[in-house]
Copies of this chain bind each other. A is one copy, B any other.
Amino acid sequence: MLRTHTCGELNISHLGETVTLCGWVQKSRDLGGTTFIDVRDRYGLTQLVLNTDTDAALRETGRGLGREFVIKVTGKVLERSNKNPKMPTGEIEIGVSEIEILNAAKIPPFMIEDETDGGEELRAKYRYLDLRRNPIRNNLMLRHKMAQEVRKYLDGRYFIEVETPVLIKSTPEGARDFVVPSRMNPGEFYALPQSPQTFKQLLMVSGFDRYFQIVKCFRDEDLRADRQPEFTQIDCEMAFITQEDILNIFEGMTRHLFKTVKGIDLQNFPRMQYADAMRLYGSDKPDIRFGMEFVELNDVVQGKGFSIFDNAELVVGINAKGCADYTRKQIDELTEWLKRPQIGITGMIYCRYNTDGTLKSSVDKFYTEDDLTNWAAAFEAGPGDLMLVLAGTADKVRKQLNELRLEMGTRLGLRDKNTFAPLWVLDFPLLEWDEETGRYHAMHHPFTSPKPEDIAMLDTAPGEVRANAYDLVINGTEIGGGSIRIHDRGLQALMFKHLGFSPEEAQKQFGFLMDAFEYGAPPHGGIAFGFDRLCSIFAGLDSIRDVIAFPKNNSGRDVMIDTPSTIAEAQMNELKIKTTL
């Protein structure tokens, strides 16, 4: 090793020892005759003292040192006169006798500090410098620790990590695949996996019993803050189990992570039916760090001559507790925010429960104080509360009110990043209607089993069929989802039929799986966690970008290495492809 110690480990017990450290110059202060330098590595920061009065060579080298120079220093561990109790190495400093510049550094384009002055683009281009900053490096160390703990937990429960292939087969179902032209099989393509779904099911057919993998997956979709073209899943599957077993084992894993990584003991996770989640929160991933549940008001408000309510499929609201003092301006601003095309309400009704006990609504023309008292009763509102009400078609208005609820939760400080509220959402619908293609799509994926008691409805009311499917939600973010799978060829074929596959298409694309089901497939099910999201929640971040070492931007580009890029004509010729721009 070029060093005897790291920059984070020396303390008063090392006094008098001669040590050698390596690291980066964090900062340097010349106090005339004495120069103080903070040298940094991954493990910490150590203060160096250069007596530049007595040592000309040291003075020369010391003067040449800029920020981020890489140095190697040898010296004696001394007790500091001016101790810094905030630093693990704060009791000591190194009286430097030798200093060597291992590498010089140009002035970085932004400050390598916890709070940097670099903009997003600059930091992306110089990602290797951004990664030097403690917050980013800590995120990646957190991620490493989480992966280790996931493996420890699952290995301890007889799960085997099996690597499934990255070069697989393209299937039109689901999101868009990235494809890879095959040189050895001209005109043919591999696809990168959106998940190892079929392979993990085959491993169950093979009797692996318990499988997991922390694995890269790929989706060629337009990107958002929490989406990347490549992302990482904790992918799991078990045989001979019921849904209850999966919930227990993976709730256990999540609790294990919170305990070992964050020192947080979580209680048993509450469970909620999908239908209730939609009714009470307008979302299949409710943030239950706070209440503010939806109150349905059709019975209370209809028939009073207010046509917007009378004609609405659903009138529904929330009680923003303690917000009666919202000014007209604040309410207008909130209404404008809700009118943006992303949410798209046409109007919002409010009713203040003033602290003096009076009730005042924006629709006083139609509702008497008695009527409003009935509203308040429905909302369980009291003096000081503000009732916010939307109306429209049920699906749409619930989605809109979900946005409003989350926004009010944020404004009222009810969504603390250090509070963690996990929730299982159960009994998802098997199918969802897609307006665009005019057919049903699998809500989870085509391999999810319907609840046995609902199978009969596949022909009569496909949209009503519930699946043995479940999501794990934390703080309003879906971090995991899974299902009990179909393990019977006939049922799988029926499912494909309902998804609009001809028998030939089904056989061409998924014949290997349906064939496998005929050779002794056990009952099985599983779950997959979005590992990037899980890490970002643990790190208290909104985006997954900073738990990924080298993320892509919103155009799918890595601006640091400048990819994607053009390739040589010769390479395309070898692959027997050409571009058609």
Contacts and interface: CB of A to CB of B under 8 A. Distances in A.
Of A164, A170, A207, A229, most buried by chain B (CB within 10 Å of CB) is A207
A190 B579 CA distance: 14
4 cross-chain pairs, A with B, having the tightest CB-CB distances, nearest first? A105-B520, A131-B206, A188-B564, A169-B563
Given A209-B42, A564-B185, A564-B190, A518 B106 contact: yes
A310 interface: no
A151 B549 CA distance: 19
B103 A24 contact: no
Given A131-B208, A218-B166, A565 B105 contact: no
A216 B164 CA distance: 10
A140 interface: yes
Interface string A512-524: 1000111111110
A179 B24 CA distance: 37
B160 A199 contact: no
Contacts of A579: 181, 186-187, 576-577
Contacts of A22: 239-240, 522
A343 interface: no
A578 B578 contact: yes
A432 interface: no
Interface residues of A, number: 124
A571 B218 CA distance: 16
A22 to B, nearest CB: 4
A69 interface: yes
A293 interface: no
Contacts of A270: none
Contacts of A177: 571
10 contacts: A22-B522, A103-B523, A106-B518, A128-B205, A147-B161, A165-B552, A169-B565, A176-B571, A180-B180, A186-B581
B166 A155 contact: no
A561 B170 CA distance: 10
Given A3-B240, A579-B186, A203 B169 contact: no
A144 B365 CA distance: 71
A563 to B, nearest CB: 4
A129 interface: yes
Interface string A152-193: 000100001111111111101000111111111111111110
Contacts of A105: 518-520
A143 to B, nearest CB: 8
A126 interface: yes
